[in-house]
Amino acid sequence: MKQYEQQVKKLVSQMTLEEKASLCSGADFWNTKAIPRLQLSSVMVSDGPHGLRKQSGPADHLGLNDSMEAVCFPAGSAMASSFDRTLIRHIGQLLGEEAKSEHIHTLLGPAINIKRSPLCGRNFEYLSEDPYLAGEMASSYVEGVQSQDVGVSVKHYAANNQEYRRMSTDSTVDERTLREIYLKAFEITVRNSRPWTIMGAYNRLNGTYCCENEWLLTTVLREEWGFDGIVMSDWGAVNNRVRALQAGLNLEMPASDGLTDQLIVDAVKDGSLDITVLDNAVSDLVNWVLKGQPETSFSGEYDKALHHEESRKAAAQCAVLLKNEANILPLSKRNTVAFIGPFAKVPRFQGGGSSHIHASRLIGAVEAAKTLPVIYAAGVEADGETRSEALLSEAISAAKQATAAVLFAGLPESFESEGYDRTHLELPACQNELIEAVAAVQPNTIIVLHNGSPVAMPWLDHVAAVLEMYLGGQAVGAAAVDLLYGDANPCGKLAETFPLRIEDTPSYLNFPGDGQTVRYGEGVFVGYRWYDSRHMKVLFPFGHGLSYTTFAFDQLSLSSETLTDGEQLTVRISIKNTGLLAGSEVVQLYIAPPEKQLDYRPAQELKGFEKTALQPGAEKTVTFVLDTRAFAYYRSSNSCWYAPSGCYELRIGNSSRNILCRASVTLKTKPPRLIYSESLTMGDLLEHGMMNAFGALLQDNALFNANTSTPATDENTALTPEMMEAMLGGLPLHAIARNKTREEIQKILDLG
Ligand code: BGC
């Protein structure tokens, strides 16, 4: 039952047709319409996701006009790298507090689209290439925000993985890929944390605009996953308002100046729109409005200084130490260090577009290190992309004078933003040149990166350390200093693979499509699923991240050697801090399917992770509980998740490429009823262990019996069982049971 069911029923029953239709689009850019005579108030929504962009003046959805001051937390790519549910929940709670104190009813985030290509301009806002990680992180975010009685809008639903022609392009994706990769994070979030709203994406999916896609908005979202909130459109994403309403879109944003409200009224009047469709949509809308009443929940000023400090701590926990040769880091506070690069003074800390925050404060590394023996040189012009001979020489001499050089590099704003995609992975040429020049004179060169998504590192072998800060929010400079000098210990892990070359990436040949259509030709092989299945070399693998301490993984144990439908398997692993400093490690659990299935399943998939903080010498047991769904793939022919019987490997490690313990479990599951289709082969029956049906079909087959009744006399014509299986495996059932009807074959299939 909906929270305010009785009140909603009463209100909707008192509304005129025009009033109902009026609620289905915004009053202006950020507010919904009120119905004063029924005391139904208007509510305000605002971006999101990593800070509040409340606009009280001129409004826009591209981050062009100003907004109220707010605290800028680490962007999505950084947040996900924490692999830390508790931290993300906490950030969500702080965001919720800010939203509440600014009378914001619903925050437009989290943004959870899968990083299909590292080139997507909006990847900085998104969480991961892995749907399980993205879903878990998003669930924690939603729990945090909604704990403050502020709603969220989980966006952008769905398959909106590029900026190129983002408002019209048609993402062509097969159902299995959708279910396993692009819908999965939404499914996890909806099931785990009941978000108040979902935002329908701009693009089309398999020919239909997402905001008009009934399968997406109603069949899957509401009927299968039990979503009970409202779906709002992305800003300007509605194409045909009446069709969108019928498909399950409650709210069009922003305002349509009454035009589309009138279309709804007309459609009800001429009978083309069933009034109950409108009533249901409006009931959901009213229920949503009543959930958060800003007048009553307003909590006054929040503590900006405290939130800034929390943002600093968060940025340190999100950063990923990619390389640390000979433990060059942490640095000693006694030695003179050269900070080089304009980002050392003014860090790039957030991305461009609708998530752009008016940050309450910004602290760069130079300012944060003002009590330490640090010298500064820019090395390149302030924009980060213009070369200067004079600044280059100055940087080289600063590097020579110091015991170490920390070079703050990264992508300038113009390189990545909402609205357009990158075309390559390179840093600006002048920064690469600066890094090489500094590294040539200073063996202790450390690179700090400020970027929203992976970059190529042609200089990697020439530098001693690389610290990935991502776009770490307004306190990122201070967090970088905390990490560089050991006041904080790095504990982030890459939530995306860093590829060696753009040509290696899974969607390379299909991204961003031809302008009309983008074909998701790589299927489920996204991110590490692609690189690991193809045994490809990468720059840094998914899940990678170093620490200043060391950890040992040991005593992997399973509660059982077998697992069947309805049962649970408990996996335990002990982890010990074997170093000298306190630190946190992320235990990652991957599942590899039985070898025979490898050709159509990724080599391994992340199915569990747990971040654990340990004092030196301390030891803990980490526990994962799995059921057969964790082993399943989506079987489109049966429209269900299915984990075939067989022996699966459980792999525990601290990156997808550093597996430290392994164990096996045998699944004994019941295959779904095999429904006859013309593409079913005898091999499918073998794979499903359907020996009765297999035998019955063979026995009945004249062609086969004729061929096999005479035993082969000549060695050359003898068929081995493997050859027989391979030959028979490819035979379609309709070819072997030519005299049978569909119904008759189905009966044989049902023999099992
Ligand atoms: C973005 C959304 C954002 C909305 C409102 C759109 O352009 O895609 O993520 O919430 O604008 O600013």
pLDDT in tens, 3-54: 799 999 999 999 999 999 999 999 999 999 999 999 999 999 999 999 999 9
Q: At what angle do helices 131-146 and 85-101 cross, to 10 degrees?
A: 40
Confidence of residue 717 (pLDDT cuts 50, 70, 90): low
Confidence of residue 702 (pLDDT cuts 50, 70, 90): low
With 90 as the cut, is the pLDDT of residue 620 above it? yes
Mean pLDDT of 98-107: 95
Distance 384 CA to ligand 1 centre (A): 27
Residue nearest to ligand 1 atom 3, measured at CA:
354
Mean pLDDT of 571-593: 98
Distance 80 CA to ligand 1 centre (A): 20
233 lines ligand 1 (CB under 6 A): no
235 lines ligand 1 (CB under 6 A): yes
Q: Which tens digit of pLDDT belongs to each residue from 53-84?
A: 999 878 777 777 788 999 999 999 999 999 99
Residue 582 in tokens:
């306190």
Mean pLDDT of 314-328: 98
Confidence of residue 146 (pLDDT cuts 50, 70, 90): very high
The percentage of the chain sitting over the pLDDT mark of 70, rounded to a whole number, equals: 96
pLDDT at 707: 52
pLDDT at 298: 58
**Which residues on neighbouring strands pair with residue 359, listed in sequence order?**
70
Q: Which tens digit of pLDDT belongs to each residue from 377-404?
A: 999 999 999 999 999 999 999 999 999 9
Cβ neighbour number for residue 124 with a 10 Å cutoff: 27
Of 652, 662, 647, whose CA–CA distance to 623 is shortest? 652
Confidence of residue 232 (pLDDT cuts 50, 70, 90): very high
pLDDT at 66: 82
Distance 46 CA to ligand 1 centre (A): 9
Whether residue 700 lies in the annotated active site? no
Mean pLDDT of 184-201: 98
108 lines ligand 1 (CB under 6 A): yes
With 80 as the cut, is the pLDDT of residue 704 above it? no
Average pLDDT, the chain: 94
Closest atom, ligand 1, to C-alpha of 166 = 8
With 90 as the cut, is the pLDDT of residue 705 above it? no
125 lines ligand 1 (CB under 6 A): no
Cβ pair 54, 294 in contact under 8 A: no
Confidence of residue 598 (pLDDT cuts 50, 70, 90): low
With 90 as the cut, is the pLDDT of residue 203 above it? yes
Give CA–CA dist 415/45, Å, rounded: 29
234 lines ligand 1 (CB under 6 A): yes
163 lines ligand 1 (CB under 6 A): no
Distance 354 CA to ligand 1 centre (A): 5
Of 84, 130, 170, 234, catalytic = 234
Give CA–CA dist 713/592, Å, rounded: 43
CA distances from 728 to 284, 682, 686, 717, 723 (A): 54, 6, 10, 16, 8
Q: Is the alpha carbon torsion for 78, 83, 87, 89 positive or negative?
A: positive
Least trusted range by pLDDT, from 33-37, 98-102, 223-227, 707-711? 707-711
635 lines ligand 1 (CB under 6 A): no
With 70 as the cut, is the pLDDT of residue 750 above it? yes
Give CA–CA dist 136/85, Å, rounded: 7
47 lines ligand 1 (CB under 6 A): yes
With 60 as the cut, is the pLDDT of residue 189 above it? yes
Cβ pair 317, 492 in contact under 8 A: yes
Cβ pair 154, 182 in contact under 8 A: no
Element (H, E) at 555: strand 551-558
Residue 66 one-letter amino acid:
D
* Top-confidence residue, 707 or 173: 173
Residue 622 one-letter amino acid:
V
Cβ neighbour number for residue 229 with a 10 Å cutoff: 25
Pairing of strands 605-614, 583-592: antiparallel
Residue nearest to ligand 1 atom 8, measured at CA:
234
Give CA–CA dist 531/528, Å, rounded: 5
* Top-confidence residue, 724 or 125: 125
pLDDT at 442: 98
With 80 as the cut, is the pLDDT of residue 551 above it? yes
pLDDT at 726: 79
* Top-confidence residue, 334 or 684: 334
Mean pLDDT of 617-630: 98
Residue nearest to ligand 1 atom 7, measured at CA:
61
With 60 as the cut, is the pLDDT of residue 108 above it? yes
Residue 538 in tokens:
């990468």
With 80 as the cut, is the pLDDT of residue 484 above it? yes
How many Å separate Cα 220 from the centre of its chain?
19
Give CA–CA dist 488/491, Å, rounded: 9
pLDDT at 716: 55
CA distances from 348 to 80, 113, 226, 383 (A): 18, 23, 40, 10
3-class DSSP assignment, residue 65: coil
Residue 260 one-letter amino acid:
T
How many Å separate Cα 471 from the centre of its chain?
16
Q: Dihedral of the CA atoms 179, 184, 187, 189 (nearest 10)?
A: -170
Mean pLDDT of 636-641: 89
pLDDT at 57: 78
Phi/psi at 197 (nearest 5 deg)?
-140, 160
Distance 156 CA to ligand 1 centre (A): 9
